[in-house]
Amino acid sequence: MTGPRLGFIGTGLMAARLIAAGHGVTVCDASDAAAAPPLASGATRATSSAQVASQAQIAFASLPTPTSCARSRSGPGGVIEGTTVKTFVDLSTTGPRVAAAVSAGLAAKSIVAVDAPVSGGMAGAKNGTLAVMVSGPRLTYDALEPILKIFGKLFFIGEKPGSAQTMKLVNNLLAACSLAITCEGMVMGAKAGLDAKTMIGVLNVSSGRSSATQDKFPRAVLPGTFDFGFATGLSHKDVRLCLDEAEALGVPMIVGSAVRQVLAITNALYCRIPISPRW
């Protein structure tokens, strides 16, 4: 095993990449099924975030909601109660205000917090080709760089806590908007008798191309699987967080507001399994 002991709260493909790279990893996940692959690869299991932070010098987290993220850091049994951790790296999408609050809270226990939200989906996590947006102290970033590179391409956004979260929210807003409008355009074309595959071919060499036409439609819509690798509830959450931040900054989001409404309706009518915190 190489380097410092690492911890991972909310297991997944990124934890697996750390183990494959030779790092000793302690994992924590409420789901036995999610914890099984890293445990089979040699990880040690913890029963709480605090236990992870008592075994690892660097703790990572990837959780679905701001509430679950905040609880895993500063709630009972959270990272803040750990006795070993020195650096906390948040790979989740929580929004900049939550990130700033977490950073301040952990600083009181001499734990350095780093935002590192990622983009690139399940394939990116598996292949180590994610975009990793990072904000935090520059010296801490420099020390973490060799580990973070295991996940993909790094972008240092700045030292202000939450800056990387803002960048991630902008990215996810644009991704959601492109998918929503591509769906509308494709339905119009199909109703008019156009072939869907031909439409995507045209769009991908024209000015209408986007992440939806280049990836989501060829991979998940045209084959009829509709598995984008990202839950509608999470997309709605991210767009909502982005619009909340835009409102706080006094930035109007007219198109974004329409997409938020579309996602809210879609989630309510067709995605009946709620996104609830696990921690």
DSSP helix/strand/coil, 45: strand
CA distances (Å), origin 36, targets 20, 24, 58, 100, 130: 15, 16, 21, 33, 23
Residues 64 and 197 in one domain: no
Could you tell me if residue 277 is inside a domain? Answer: no
Active site residue 168: yes
Residues 182 and 137 in one domain: no
Q: Determine the Cα–Cα distance for residues 63 and 161; give it in Å rounded to an integer.
A: 18
Q: Determine the Cα–Cα distance for residues 176 and 237; give it in Å rounded to an integer.
A: 11
**Domain enclosing residue 40, as ranges:** 6-159
Could you tell me if residue 209 is inside a domain? Answer: yes
Q: Show which of 124, 159, 194 is a domain's final residue.
A: 159
pTM over 0.85: yes
First to last CA, the chain: 29
pLDDT in tens, 117-156: 999 988 888 899 999 999 999 999 999 999 999 999 999 9
pLDDT (0 to 100) of residue 71: 72
pLDDT (0 to 100) of residue 272: 52
pLDDT in tens, 1-14: 567 889 999 877 88
Catalytic residue among 86, 160, 168, 237: 168
Query: What does the CA dihedral 106, 49, 67, 246 come to, rounded to 10 degrees?
Result: 50
Residues in a beta bridge with 8: 27, 60
pLDDT (0 to 100) of residue 176: 96
Q: Mark the ranges of the chain whose per-residue pLDDT is less than 70.
A: 1-2, 271-279
Residues 226 and 197 in one domain: yes
pLDDT (0 to 100) of residue 128: 92
pLDDT in tens, 203-223: 999 999 999 999 999 999 999
Could you tell me if residue 279 is inside a domain? Answer: no
- Among 239, 216, 232, 225, which Cα is nearest to 271's? 232
Pairing of strands 130-135, 118-119: antiparallel
pLDDT (0 to 100) of residue 186: 97
